[in-house]
Amino acid sequence: MDKTKLLTIPALIAVCVLMFSCTTETGPEWRPLFNGENLDGWDIKFSGYELNHNFNNSFRVEDGLLTVSFDEWDTFNGEFGHIFYDEPFSHYKLRVEYRFVGEQVNGGPAWAYRNNGIMFHSQSAASMELDQDFPASVEAQLLGGDGENERPTMNVCTPETHIMIDGQLRREHCINSTSETFHGDRWVTVELHVYGDSLIHHIVEQDTVFTYHNPQLSDTGEPLTRGYIALQAESHPTQFRKVEILDLSDQYE
């Protein structure tokens, strides 16, 4: 007998596992929200302007990157902007790769230096008031370092919302994460793991830096179980090369 034609037990098991994995139905897969070519599927809202008025061509695609640019601005006068993916989600993992570039536009507030954010469980762009600065949402705040001081990223901010940490309602507008500071124009990979209104994790470069639960509207206490995802234009140029989601809704709803 030619022993070279025999499969060992471990090899046979490996083949069976491979065949099984290839023939069974797969679970949810990551899919891009930003396609790298255009802003199809996204809505834009700037404070003081009607829906989908892309003020000063601020949101654009350059070299395959979703770019927040201020090169056509003279000065910033409070025209806060957001770009919303046009589908709401409830249970998911969101992965974003971002970096800050260039200089802040004239007139930008000091706190907005190298500042952007991922708004989630958000109201829709269409439901925002004309002069509304920020959507009611929870924000995973993205910050870049100033070259000297500690400035963690993936903090939490709560425009018109509250969260709970370890069973305690927190009313602060922003609470810092435990992440390190990322100076310069380097790319940073972050994730949000969102399970309706039950549990939320902020992850920076595979390190969990914040966990909280029970996001809710601050005026009524209504639980935030789902909503839209948005990125910001707050006066500092920012680039995104990946915005992708692993939708887990079918597993939980």
Domain count, the chain: 1
Q: Alpha helices, DSSP H only, in the chain?
A: 9-23, 249-252
8 lies in a domain?
no
Nearest alpha carbon to residue 135 among 199, 224, 33: 224
94 lies in a domain?
yes
Does residue 5 register a pLDDT over 70? no
**Average predicted confidence (pLDDT) for the chain:** 91
| Four-residue CA torsion sign, 103, 109, 114, 118 | negative
Does residue 181 register a pLDDT over 80? yes
23 lies in a domain?
no
pLDDT value at residue 85: 98
What's the pLDDT tens digit per position in 86-110?
A: 999 999 999 999 999 999 999 999 9
Domain of residue 72: give its range: 29-252
- Would you place residue 26 in the very low, low, confident or very high pLDDT band (cuts 50, 70, 90)? confident
Which two tokens mark 100? 């800050």
> CATH number for the domain including 191?
2.60.120.560
Distance CA 251, CA 78 (A): 41
Does residue 16 register a pLDDT over 70? no
- Would you place residue 25 in the very low, low, confident or very high pLDDT band (cuts 50, 70, 90)? low
21 lies in a domain?
no
156 lies in a domain?
yes
35 lies in a domain?
yes
Mean pLDDT for 218-246 is: 98
Distance CA 127, CA 111 (A): 27
What's the pLDDT tens digit per position in 139-157?
A: 999 999 999 999 999 999 9
- Would you place residue 167 in the very low, low, confident or very high pLDDT band (cuts 50, 70, 90)? very high
20 lies in a domain?
no
Higher-pLDDT residue of 21 and 143 is 143
Task: Using alpha carbons only, give the angle 210, 154, 229 rounded to the nearest 5 degrees.
Answer: 105
Mean pLDDT for 197-224 is: 98
Q: Which residues contact 120 (CB under 8 A, 6 or more apart)?
A: 89, 94, 137, 138, 139, 140, 192, 194, 227, 228, 229, 230
189 lies in a domain?
yes
